[in-house]
Chains A and B, each alone.
Chain A
Amino acid sequence: GAGVSQSPSNKVTEKGKDVELRCDPISGHTALYWYRQSLGQGLEFLIYFQGNSAPDKSGLPSDRFSAERTGGSVSTLTIQRTQQEDSAVYLCASSLGSDYSVHEQFFGPGTRLTVL
């Protein structure tokens, strides 16, 4: 079956512009995560959605970052007024649920964001 897909695969933008990154999770997966992979910081958790519950936003680095998940499926990560330090690979993952025994996360290929 189809895995997690992300678009675009690459995004180049100018400092100060807004960007939107999209994630399509595996069908039937209720949990969705965003992570950021950068050279200096490694892999960092950003935000987590589980069903209709309020998202866990504890990893968002600033209020320029936001995310939504519509209809419990597709998610969009928005970065406003991008800065050069936002350059990174943004990874999305999904899992069947938050049950302790089935929370293997499946990762998408990522979106490489470059802020000039």
Chain B
Amino acid sequence: GDSVTQMEGPVTLSEEAFLTINCTYTATGYPSLFWYVQYPGEGLQLLLKATKADDKGSNKGFEATYRKETTSFHLEKGSVQVSDSAVYFCALSDPYSGAGSYQLTFGKGTKLSVIP
């Protein structure tokens, strides 16, 4: 079945440091890829998405590029802030997997802490 693997956390960075959170996937069909973020005490929010190969999703200074050849969707940000401290989830939706629905398959999540 489909699966998502993302780097284990927690990750602790100083403010203005460069962030990379690795994400790779396996899928039966041609999935859409997502990054969701969960801030402390809040619900899951969509951060960015990409629906086809070589698409770049971006939002709030975060970027991720859909790389079909390496089955990856790594999250990057050039300069993190304390307010970016959260748990980040990589996910895919594969409507052609045979299940017939659009449920999200999530990675385990990576907790990011940014210190001043």
Contact = CB atoms under 8 A, between A and B. Distances in A.
Interface of A: 4, 31, 33, 35, 42-45, 48, 50, 56, 58-59, 91, 93, 95, 98, 100-101, 103-110
A105 B104 contact: yes
Contact of A56 (B36, B89, B93, B101): B101
A91 B105 contact: no
Contacts of A107: 36, 43-45
A45 B104 contact: yes
A25 to B, nearest CB: 13
B102 A91 contact: no
Nearest to B44: A107
Contact of B109 (A35, A43, A98, A100): A43
A27 B115 CA distance: 39
20 contacts: A33-B104, A42-B109, A43-B89, A43-B104, A43-B106, A44-B106, A48-B103, A56-B101, A56-B103, A58-B99, A91-B43, A91-B44, A95-B102, A100-B51, A103-B102, A104-B46, A105-B46, A107-B36, A107-B43, A107-B45
Nearest to B100: A56
